[in-house]
Structure 1
C-alpha cells in the first residue's frame, strides 16, 4: 500500500460520521464539510442533494516525489465515496472515479465542476481549503539570515541538483541526476523547481505550500555562485501582502541585524523587499 493510498483511506474513514451537520454548514479544514452536490451520468441527473466533502493535502512524501496537491473525497448518500486526485507534478494527473479528468474548475457560484472521460460530471460545494503544513522548523532563521541546518542542507542539495559550469551560457539550467531531498520528508517533484543562470550566479525558485510563523508561503528562492560556491541570496515569498509581512517580521528583522553586527560584525542583511506580495530577503557577503 502506498502513502497516497493511506491518505485516501484515512480521508474515507474521516467521512464515516456522514452529514452529522446540515447542508452548507462549514467545518474545520480537517473534518468533513456538508454541502450541496449534483451528479450527472450520461447526460442525466443522477443525484442532487447533500454530500460530505473532505479535502486532504497530498505531499511529495505521499507520492515518492511525483506530485503535490490534494485528494478531495466526496461521499454521496446511497452511492458511496468518490476520490478526486487533484495534483501537480510528474505522473500526477487528476483522476475522478478512476477515470482521467477532462475538466476541473469553479463555476460562477464557487462550486467545483469535475468532468471525466467516462462522461460523468460532478458539481459540488468544495468546502474549506485543507490545512497547510507548518514549516516553522524547516524555514527557521529566514528572518535573521541564520538558516536552519535543514534549510542549509536543502540549499546545498539544490546546488548539486542544478550544478552548472561557471562558463555556461545564461539561460535555464537542467536538473542533474541528483534528486532534490525535501527535508520535511520525501523527494521534491522536479516540476516545482525552476533554475536559470544569470551572469555569475544561478537562481533557483522552489514552489512551496505551507505556513511560516502563521503566514502562508508561496516559494523560496536561492542564488548561489557556481565558481567558488557559497550562498549569495535567499528569499521567502509569501502569499500575504507586504504590510502583513512587515507587521509580522519588521521589528524582529531590525533587532536581529543589530545584534548580529554588534556581536560578530557579520554583514549578512535581512530586509523586506518592496512590492507585492511580501518577500523576505537575506543577502550574504560575497
Structure 2
C-alpha cells in the first residue's frame, strides 16, 4: 500500500521555516518601553550631587557663588533645629494649599460650564484663553494695586497660576469623550444627572489629573514669586533675606526645599493618577 506523503510548503529564501505548532511570539519585536530601571529616578540626582561635591572639594566652585553641599546640609539642619525653617515652611505650605484649592475649584467649575454648554463656552472660553496668554508676573502690579501686598494677593496669584491648566485639560477631557458613550447613554435613557456622573466625569478624569500635575507645579512657581514681594514669612522670604546678607547657603537650602516640595507633590499626583486610572494601559504599564 502506497504511503501518502504530504508536502510542506517551501520556506521563502532567507527565512527559517516555521514548524507546525511552533510559538511565533518569541520572534516578535517589542516596540514599547522596557521595564523600569530600579532607582532610575535618583541616578541623575546622584550624579549631579557628585559633580557638585567634587567641584566644591577641588575648589573649582567658588563657595561665594555656590556653597558646598556639606555646608548646605549643616545650614539646613541648623535652620530646622532653631525652628526658622519649619515655621517658614508651614507658612509656604498653607499659602500653596489655599491657592491650589481655590484654583482647582474655579478651574473645574469653569471647565464644566464651558464644556457642557455651548453658551458657556461662548462666554467663558475666549476670556480664559486670553488670560492664558498673559503671564501671572504681568498681572502682579495690578493685583498689588487691587488687593495690596497681604495674604489675599498672594493666594489669588497662586490660584490664577492653578486654574488655567485645570480648566484647559479638564475642558479638553470633556470634549474628547468618545461619542459612542454618549449614544449608549441615550440608548439607556440616562437622565442629565446620571449622564454627567456616569459618563462625563469619568471621561474627563484623565484630563483633570493631567491638569492637576501642571497645576501643582504652577502653584509652586507662583509661590516663589509672591513670597519675595514684601513678604514677612515663608521660604521665599527667607531666601530674599539671605540674598540681602549674602548667605548663599541659605538660598540653596530654600531651593532644595522648593525642589523637594515640587517633586513630592508631582509624585503624589502621579500615584493618584495610576490608582484612579487602572483601567487604562499605557507605555508605562
Q: TM-score, normalised by structure 1?
A: 0.21
Higher strand share: 1
Q: As a proportion of its length, which structure holds more helix?
A: 2
Higher relative contact order (CA 8 A, sep 6+): 2
* Greater radius of gyration (CA): 2
